[in-house]
Amino acid sequence: MKDKKELLFSYIKTNVAPILVDFISSEDLRNVTILPANIDSKELNGHYEDINFMPPYWFNELLNKNNKILVIDRIDSIDKEEQLKFVELLKYRKISTFELPSDCVIIITASEINNNTINEEIFSLVASI
């Protein structure tokens, strides 16, 4: 476990890819922005207010924190096809027209990481510990 935590910290420092972990949960992390895996796509993406396209609530929450860590929590709790709603966020580091800050670290938590629980495309976009 100690080796996994050290590896996690080194991945956070380098921030080269989203990080998929099965040894921590969102409850273990403080002062981070948490997206439950089962978030509705309407809440994941932006929305219109009159004629203006606005960012989702979690995006503004992320921008206002000193610690720019975005946690997608329990991705293995949703169907593998539904997991694909996170591809844009993981691959392009943006949602709709809103780019994540360059120093934003993305951590994806899971109870179990294997081919039966994680979508192949999602798995190809992350560094797994």
Share of the chain above pLDDT 70, in %: 99
C-beta of residue 30 within 8 angstroms of C-beta of residue 36: no
How do residues 87-121 score in pLDDT, each as one tens digit?
999 999 999 889 999 999 999 999 999 889 999 99
* Residue 56: CATH number of its domain: 3.40.50.300
Residue 59's domain spans which residues? Answer: 2-128
pLDDT at 2: 72
C-beta of residue 117 within 8 angstroms of C-beta of residue 81: no
Q: How many domains does the chain have?
A: 1
How do residues 26-52 score in pLDDT, each as one tens digit?
888 889 999 999 999 889 998 888 888
Query: Distance between CA 90 and CA 48 in Å, rounded?
Result: 23
pLDDT at 47: 84
What is the rounded average pLDDT for all residues in the chain?
91
Q: Which CA distances in Å does 123 have to 8, 83, 86, 110, 129?
A: 17, 10, 11, 12, 11
pLDDT at 40: 94
Give residue 1's pLDDT band: very low, low, confident or very high (50, 70, 90).
low
Q: Is the pLDDT of residue 9 over 90?
A: no
pLDDT at 94: 94
